Amino acid sequence: MAVTDEELKRAMKAFKRRLKLTALDDESRLGRSPMTGGGTSGIESIIPPREFRQEIWDALVASGKLSKEDDGFYRVGTFKGGM
């Protein structure tokens, strides 16, 4: 089945929303000290929402909007490698 532009847009929007909410959830956890000024989340990749087919995520990787990491995790953009 072909992947439409509308499906790609909806999937990318859902991915970014899930990534943002996951990072906010991590930042607001109880283990952070109020004296340290909070902290930023280190979350940069997530498992994509399951309501979209795998072909959609593969198409987003092929277009360069997402990059695939180990164990089914994806991140926004192209990952060039670490340190």
Would you tell me how many other CB atoms lie within 10 Å of the CB of residue 59?
19
Residue 26, pLDDT score: 83
Sheet holding 74-76, edge to edge: 45-46, 74-76, 66-68
Residue 77, pLDDT score: 86
Token code pair at residue 65: 């909007």
Per-position pLDDT tens, the chain of length 83: 789 999 999 999 999 999 999 988 888 776 656 666 556 778 899 999 999 999 999 999 999 999 999 899 999 986 555 43
Find tokens 């979350």 and name the residue: 43
Output the pTM of the full model. 0.81
